[in-house]
Chains A and B, each alone.
Chain A
């Protein structure tokens, strides 16, 4: 089942997907574009989870499934493992990736570092908003994987410091 594709193709496809949904389909409605991209990610995660769990035994609890995502799944999709996993043992997990592969080509806006900590400056929020559109797809993938393993959840991403990226998973119920 393994044939290989150049990574630049994957990068181009992701950029084009975000550009298409936020620029052409839902031009002034970023929330709708985000929801569509996340739904695509959900289906992809669903499919990938079946494929990558084929060889290994099934999971006995939530923590095992999260660890599978941090190690095996992340190395299959992003060629590295999650660097830091935190949990509050009450259904919230934070997965921290110190150099998220799909954001490695995104430049960090130097002007935003000179600004004071005023989040209402338009330059900083626009850059942050532009980058956050690229994170809906991986969030959808994680949600798809966990839903297929029987763990309904909500996933959000946090990019307060690029290139480090944190994914916050909140297990429902």
Chain B
């Protein structure tokens, strides 16, 4: 079970469309923006790495102290990025796959504009439940 974990979904135009702190530890005030900062900084690395492989799950692309950034890229170049301190790669891969399915369900909603923020509380609840289950 990861103590710190921050999950964001970044759309094609590098705008984050969903953010969530899914770790079990409480979020520290002085490090409140640090997690998101690390994830955004990792976007450049992901950009380079995504063109070198045709796999979807790029395992860990960047490190910061003892936190690791793992990324999953979809065919439409939507990046699911997770900042965590655990080493459970299979769990993380399953987590990404399940969130990908949830994301597709959101996308299939005809009233959802692709690239806009995901505001569904149902999605939020499900993502947090998946994080508790797999991370």
Measured CB to CB, the residues of A under 8 A from B are 1, 43, 46-47, 49-51, 53-54, 56-60, 148-150
> Closest CB of chain A to B56's CB: distance in Å?
6
Contacts of B114 in A (CB 8 A): 43, 46-47
Is A60's CB under 8 angstroms from B104's CB?
Answer: no
Is A50's CB under 8 angstroms from B54's CB?
Answer: no
In the bound assembly, the distance between CA atoms of A18 and B103 in angstroms comes to: 30
Contacts of A51 in B (CB 8 A): 104, 107-108
Is A49's CB under 8 angstroms from B108's CB?
Answer: no
Which A-chain residue is minimally distant from B114 (CB atoms)?
A46
Contacts of B107 in A (CB 8 A): 46-47, 50-51
How many A-B residue pairs have C-beta atoms within 8 angstroms? Tell me. Answer: 53
Is B101's CB under 8 angstroms from A60's CB?
Answer: no
Is A49's CB under 8 angstroms from B75's CB?
Answer: yes
Measured CB to CB, the residues of B under 8 A from A are 12, 50, 53-56, 73-78, 100-101, 103-105, 107-108, 110, 114
| Given A1-B101, A54-B100, A49-B56 contact (CB < 8 Å) | no
| Given A51-B104, A59-B54, A148-B76 contact (CB < 8 Å) | yes
Query: Of the candidates A43, A47, A53, which one forms a contact with B75 in the assembled complex, judged by CB atoms under 8 Å apart?
Result: A53
Is A58's CB under 8 angstroms from B55's CB?
Answer: yes
In the bound assembly, the distance between CA atoms of A126 and B108 in angstroms comes to: 36
In the bound assembly, the distance between CA atoms of A60 and B56 in angstroms comes to: 12
Q: Identify 17 residue pairs between A and B in the complex whose beta-carbon atoms are under 8 Å apart, listed by A's number.
A: A43-B114, A46-B107, A49-B75, A50-B76, A50-B78, A50-B103, A51-B104, A53-B74, A54-B74, A54-B100, A56-B75, A57-B55, A57-B56, A58-B50, A58-B74, A59-B54, A149-B76
Is B76's CB under 8 angstroms from A60's CB?
Answer: no
Contacts of B12 in A (CB 8 A): 150
In the bound assembly, the distance between CA atoms of A49 and B53 in angstroms comes to: 19
A interface majority secondary structure:
loop
> Closest CB of chain A to B104's CB: distance in Å?
5
Is A47's CB under 8 angstroms from B54's CB?
Answer: no
In the bound assembly, the distance between CA atoms of A51 and B75 in angstroms comes to: 10
In the bound assembly, the distance between CA atoms of A149 and B114 in angstroms comes to: 13
In the bound assembly, the distance between CA atoms of A126 and B24 in angstroms comes to: 66
In the bound assembly, the distance between CA atoms of A148 and B102 in angstroms comes to: 18
Knowing that A51-B108, A58-B54 touch, tell me 14 more A-B residue pairs with CB under 8 angstroms. Answer: A49-B75, A50-B76, A50-B107, A51-B107, A53-B75, A54-B101, A56-B75, A57-B56, A58-B53, A58-B55, A58-B56, A59-B54, A60-B54, A148-B76
Contacts of B100 in A (CB 8 A): 54
Is B104's CB under 8 angstroms from A57's CB?
Answer: no
In the bound assembly, the distance between CA atoms of A54 and B114 in angstroms comes to: 17
Query: Of the candidates A46, A47, A50, A60, which one forms a contact with B74 in the assembled complex, judged by CB atoms under 8 Å apart?
Result: A50
Contacts of B101 in A (CB 8 A): 1, 54
Is B77's CB under 8 angstroms from A57's CB?
Answer: no
Which B-chain residue is minimally distant from A150 (CB atoms)?
B77
